[in-house]
Amino acid sequence: MVRYFVKKSFNEELQEVKTFPDGHAWLYGSEVTEAKLAQVAEETNLDLNILRDVRDVHELPRVEYSKGATYVFVRIPRALKNGPGLAVPLLFVIRGDLLVTLSTAKYFTPDELALKYRFSMRSTTSVFLQVLSHIFSQYGHDIQKTTGYIHSVQQRLLTRAISNKDFIKFVGIENTLTEYHTNLEASKVLLDRLAENKHDLLTEKEQEFLDDIILYVQQLTVAVRNDSRTIESIRNTFSTVSNNSLNQRMKTLTLITLFLTVPNMVFGMFGMNVLLPVDTHSPWVFGAIIVGSITFIVLAYLMVRRYKF
């Protein structure tokens, strides 16, 4: 789907028009097909070969210059019902007073952004930076939710209320964090290249805005790294606690077996058809066996306590 928007001043309302406007325009494309890309290239005289790269699901953030236009590829996070999902490519094209955004997925629309930010299409680079800031704020929102969930699991680990479902969910979270880390690292390289401003794309004020975005991306990268380390720490701690609990249970079962074996062995001897060194019919023998067994169990228990078996 391709839509056209115009907005010539801050005070003017963002307007959607039916046909491609002459200037101060935002060409918005979502779920674009090969045919739509060809249409955009024909209407705007942009490089179709570069536009086609947005259909590559593995396209990483980069910047390219062609025919007086700046092509910037980024990756936007997609929210799923059960949490953050994988990111998809989004292409920005900046040429004069024209801004083009294209993606093969659904994403935020210009009229949705107009409710949050004030902008004018007279400065497409300023709009580009605002949209870029919005994208990384989405990363920040997803990472913040992930951090909160990880911390809740960490607290439940103290009370051993953690379950196998948490570890299964960790697998998906780790995949998302790995992709986010890759995207943010590549985005940092992209932003550093834009900050060089070799093509005089940005004004001094816009460069300051870009520096703030770069700093935020660095903070997100550190947060992703910390989340990954916390997950690994939780997994290692739970494994250690589980192994220790298993060892304690095995020791307890071994002691119980030992305590039960000795009385059974003594009583078993009296059940055999052999002569014993005591009179088995004497009234004191049964009491002696009971007292001896209890004495052995107590001595064994004290020895276990003494040597911390």
- Check residue 224 and give its pLDDT: 94
Mean pLDDT in residue range 105-124: 84
For residue 31, pLDDT over 70 is answered with yes
133 contact partners, CB below 8 Å, separation of at least 6: 209, 212, 213, 216
- Whether pLDDT at 276 is above 80: no
Q: What is the pLDDT of residues 227-239, one digit of tens each?
A: 999 988 888 877 7
Sheet holding 25-29, edge to edge: 15-17, 2-6, 25-29, 98-103, 88-95, 69-76, 62-66
Q: How far apart are CA 265 and CA 262, in angstroms?
A: 5
Higher pLDDT, 7 or 69: 69
Mean pLDDT on 80-102 = 82
User: Taking the model in full, what pTM does it have?
Assistant: 0.77
**Which residues in 133-186 belong to E strands, given as ranges?**
none
Q: CA 139 to CA 116: how far, in whole Å?
A: 17
309 pLDDT above the threshold of 70: no
pLDDT band at 286 (very low <50, low <70, confident <90, very high): low
User: Which residue type is seen at 99?
Assistant: L
pLDDT band at residue 213 under the 50/70/90 scheme? very high
Instruction: Kindly state the percentage of the chain with pLDDT values over 70.
Output: 87
**3-class state of residue 209 by DSSP:** helix
> What pLDDT sits at residue 100?
95
